[in-house]
Amino acid sequence: MPRKRGGYKRRWATPLLVGGGLALLAAALQGTPAYAHGFGQRYDLPVPLWLYLIGAGAAVAMSFVVMGVFMRGSSISGAYPRFNLLRWPIARALTSPAALLPLRLASVALFLLVIAAGLAGGQEPTDNVAPTLVWVIWWVGMAYASALIGNVWAVINPWRIIFDWAETLFRLFSPGRGLSLNQSWPAGWGVWPGLLLFLAFAWAELVFVDSAMPAHIARMAIVYSVITWAGMAVYGKERWLRRGEAFSLAFGFLARFAPTEARNLDPSVCDACPADCQDVDMECVDCGRCFAKTPPSRRELNLRPFAVGLLRNEGVSVSAAAFVLLLLSTVTYDGLTATPLWVSVHDWLSGQLPNSTLIGTLGLAVFPTLFGGVYLVVAALMSWAGGGRVPVGAVARGFVYSLIPIALAYHLAHFLSYLLIQGQLIIPLASDPFGFGWDLLGTVDYRVNLAIINARTTWLLAVGAIVVGHIISVYLAHVIAHRVIKERRLARRSQYPMLALMVGYTMVSLWILAQPITESS
């Protein structure tokens, strides 16, 4: 998530994959000072950086050894403990349509406020509520909510809510009809439309120089709204949300890590679902349409262990795998562009290309390609190490969800302090959302507390998050290997290339985190 040029937004400081990583690591081992890349103030480490890098890599490697010793193929299954919160009357009351209505009203109101403030309010980003609400509270905060709570976006998505309301109103005048043409989703499209929209969003966030300007935010929201509602009108709401709506896809992938799930126990409801929501085991999890249509006695809102949602037994399409890799690679690109290494590259490219926008666009095009190429090389090595029983493409698709905890770890590492500090701007902006000099709530004089979290705490949390995230990914890959390859010896052998990837990924990510924030000219 973002760090604006000129100091408004923070960039995701995340790692490059192992390709190119050895060169970066060599540079890191020679450096002496360490900086708080993710939070803007210098913090000299109590021990040399190379000790942190080696220690973190060793922790990830040791986790692989422990799993190899104590996890047996026969003990690995897709089952996991669940506790149904809907057993409690208070939980049923809190999840009823009447209880959720205030949340949905608030979501739509904030969405309309962003557009109104962006178009009619002052254009200084720090004086207008739109940039803080979109880039900090929504884009950064919703990732935390998705991973740590559940698929919140499915409940408060304003595009879905407004379309639902419009369709309900339409049916009052045209009973039995809806707003959607419900055209069949073209074969081979997968989630490519959603991926392309997310790529456009990433370009606006990471490359477009004026993406913090309130008017530009409002116009982008309007354009995206037109595309989204048009997609729902042509292909149906559920189809578009599952395959074309970029943020439902992105937050949905992150929510697979969360400790909650909405589960439908009535397979007959899924037969009429246009979203093809059931997995290989015929389970329907986190499909809002089926959950809403299922009788209360046949649905669950479960607590579950973290990360088990990433182990669902389902086919992963090429487009879904590409989306996850794009999500990770844009984070990687964002982090690297705030390091001295990128400044050197940018300065060299400035002599070859006419402007920074073209350079940034080129970088955003190249990075996902390199990222995906490295991952495919690792998948090929895994296929070979596993005896060649599983094709490279199947390996690449089957293991891609195991990378999601890494993205969450870097989000936590680099944006906790950002959310806690920059997020405080919403307090004065709530009183003066348009920048007109109002004081509606009496909070306009609030001053941001910069001491809410210090550099040392942020660094230690970052190191812990990155190491734990990689260990969880190693565990997930281990379980997937036993499910896909089955023979224990070959399954364990297949994990050596993935282990090398995880160790290198951990060390390079910490190197990037330790670099000073710089800006290309």
DSSP string covering 454-479, please?
A: -HHHHHHHHHHHHHHHHHHHHHHHHH
Contact 445, 403 (CB under 8 A): no
Crossing angle of the two packed helices 318-336 and 246-255, in degrees rounded to 10: 90
Per the structure block, which two tokens stand in for 315? Answer: 């086919």
Q: What pLDDT score does 334 carry?
A: 79
Nearest to 103 by CA among 135, 45, 145, 144: 145
CB half-sphere exposure, 98, CA atoms < 13 A: 3
DSSP 8-state symbol, 310: G
Nearest Cα to Cα of residue 283 among 265, 259, 301, 260? 265
Among the listed residues 293, 290, 286, the one whose alpha carbon sits nearest the alpha carbon of residue 260: 286
Of 2, 138, 24, 10, nearest to 504 (Cα)?
A: 24
Residue 246 near residue 209 (C-beta atoms within 8 A): no
Q: How many Cβ atoms sit within 10 Å of the Cβ of residue 340? A: 13
Question: Cβ neighbours of residue 393 under 8 Å, at least 6 residues apart?
Answer: 318, 379
The whole-number pLDDT of residue 69 equals 63
Q: How far apart are the two ends of the chain, measured CA to CA in Å?
A: 21
pLDDT at 4: 42
Phi, psi angles (nearest 5°) of residue 429: -70, -25
List, in order, residues 6 or more apart from 397 with CB less than 8 Å away.
315, 316, 317, 318, 320, 321
- DSSP string for residues in 162-199: HHHHHHHHHHHHSTT--S---PPPPTT-TTHHHHHHHH
Helix (H), strand (E) at residue 260: strand 260-264
DSSP state of 125: G
pLDDT computed for residue 487 by the predictor: 80
Q: What is the DSSP track for 342-354?
A: HHHHHHHHHTTSS
Domain edges within the chain: 21-79+318-513, 83-259
Q: What pLDDT does 34 receive?
A: 42
- Mark residue 188 as left, alpha or beta (left: phi above 0; alpha: psi -120 to 50; beta: remaining): left
Report how many helices (DSSP H) and strands (DSSP E) the chain contains, helices first.
22, 4
Q: pLDDT value at position 1?
A: 41
Q: How far apart are CA 177 and CA 179, in angstroms?
A: 7
The secondary structure of 427-447 as a DSSP string is HHHHH-TTSSS--SSS-TT--
Tokens (6 digits) for 418: 């950002």
Closest CA to 82 of 253, 291, 259, 256: 259
Residue 25's pLDDT is 35
- Decide the pairing of beta strands 260-264 and 284-285: antiparallel
pLDDT of residue 22: 36
φ, ψ (nearest 5 deg) of residue 263: -120, 130
Cα-to-chain-centroid distance, residue 231: 22
Closest by CA position to 466, among listed 59, 33, 21: 59
Q: Widest CA span of the chain, in angstroms?
A: 72
10 Å CB burial of residue 11 (0-12, 13-18, 19+) is buried
Asked if 360 and 206 touch (Cβ cutoff 8 Å), the reply is: yes
Residue 36 contacts residue 339 (beta carbons within 8 Å): no
Nearest Cα to 24, choosing from 348, 331, 407, 342?
342
Query: Rounded to whole angstroms, what are the CA distances from 201 to 84, 102, 165, 196, 205?
Result: 37, 28, 26, 9, 6
- Tell me the CA distances in angstroms from 286 to 92, 115, 255, 294, 392, one per residue in order: 17, 30, 9, 12, 29
pLDDT of residue 14: 30
- Which helix (H) or strand (E) element contains residue 284? strand 284-285
The HSE-up count of residue 51 (CA atoms within 13 Å, CB side) is 7
Please give the pLDDT value at position 74.
43
Mean pLDDT by 10 residues, the chain (521 residues): 40 33 37 42 58 72 71 59 92 89 97 98 95 94 93 96 94 84 91 97 92 96 98 95 96 95 89 82 86 88 94 91 91 78 84 85 90 93 89 93 88 82 94 96 93 81 83 88 82 85 78 68 52
pLDDT score recorded for residue 68 = 66
